[in-house]
């Protein structure tokens, strides 16, 4: 559903429009939009004068807004992997795999702000074309 909303020309969609466009039941839409709103991939608004919700992607640099809050998630993964290494011991195979996992997520976390700045710079050239 996220791909549909991302690629569709419409800026806003009701649940009924999403169900029709995706050719799925309204029940399938309900769970999907609830999840996508919860994780911040879709916004929910109310049309003035109606009781219907509409769903939208705020397309002003959606990818930065999606990825920047993930730094907190990466921090949690680093901490969880470190706890696993402490519990298992770095000398065991599982502990070594968790240590590499911790290093990977720490690497991503450290580079994310620079990567987002590079994205902003690159994005600026896209709109100049």
Transcribe 77-128 into DSSP letters.
HHHHHHHHHHHH-TTSHHHHHHHHHHHHHHHHHHHHHHHHHHHHHHHHHHHT
User: What value does the mean pLDDT take over residues 111-125?
Assistant: 92
The confidence score (pLDDT) of residue 128 equals 67
Q: pLDDT category, 129, cuts 50, 70, 90?
A: low
Instruction: Using a pLDDT cut of 70, give the percent of the chain over it.
Output: 98
* Whether this model's pTM surpasses 0.85: no
pLDDT digits (tens, 9 = 90+) for 30-60: 999 999 998 888 999 987 888 889 999 877 7
User: What value does the mean pLDDT take over residues 63-78?
Assistant: 88
pLDDT higher than threshold 70 for residue 103: yes
| Domain layout of the chain by residue ranges | 2-56, 62-127
- CATH number for the domain whose boundaries are 2-56: 1.10.10.10
């Amino acid at each position: 559903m996220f791909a549909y909303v991302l690629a569709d020309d419409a800026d806003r969609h009701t649940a009924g429009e999403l169900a029709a466009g995706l050719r799925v039941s309204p029940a399938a839409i309900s769970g999907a939009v609830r999840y996508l709103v919860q994780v911040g991939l879709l916004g929910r608004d109310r049309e003035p004068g109606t009781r219907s919700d509409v769903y939208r992607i705020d397309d002003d640099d959606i990818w930065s807004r999606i990825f920047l809050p993930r730094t907190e998630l990466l921090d949690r993964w680093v901490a969880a992997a470190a706890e696993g290494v402490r519990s298992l011991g770095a000398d065991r195979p599982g502990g070594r795999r968790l240590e590499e996992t911790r290093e990977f997520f720490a690497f991503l976390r450290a580079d994310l702000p620079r990567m987002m700045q590079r994205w902003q710079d690159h994005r600026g050239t896209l709109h100049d074309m």
